[in-house]
Structure 1
Amino acid sequence: MDAAQLTEEKSSHWSPNSTGPTWIHAADGSWLLPKRTLGRQIAGWCAEHLNGEGSTDDQPVPWKFTKEQLRFLLVVRRQRRRRVRLPDRPAATVKG
């Protein structure tokens, strides 16, 4: 039995343990990613300002995140909507 057969046989008996918000799938099977996140801007900044693997002084290569790293960045830097309640009346002032 070769290694490929062992891998296929082994993988049919267990599924990988995936926990956390970066591993959640939508109903259609795509990754469930936040709509409001700073991760896209951060990834763009990294691609513009950081050199990736294989860069030289003469030929810079833009930084690239792996798919897993990018999903993590999008989820970690998500923005939650917060309602800011304004006071009904101005705060009391101290007269002196």
Structure 2
Amino acid sequence: MDSADLDARRRVVNRLRRARGQLDAVIAAVETEASCRDIVTQLAAVTHALNRAGFVIVAAALQECVGRDDDAEGPTVDELEKVFLSLA
């Protein structure tokens, strides 16, 4: 596993941990009967964190695929992630 793969894995794990923390906040907000606005804001944050993790996973897989098909250096994971984010 090369350093780009390790970096992508680290970024995915960090985003998933962030999403887990945000989901814990949603649960706590529901349990304590927080305002609907606060709950929805936290849900949006969870969704965003999960989407970003998914984009990194797809971008890393696409980079690997592109790299196999072409001897020239392909786009970086960051560049591919930005493309995906522009579509979201």
Higher share of residues assigned helix = 2
TM-score by length of 1: 0.27
Q: Which has the larger radius of gyration?
A: 1
Question: Relative CO higher for 1 or 2, CA cutoff 8 Å, sep ≥ 6?
Answer: 2
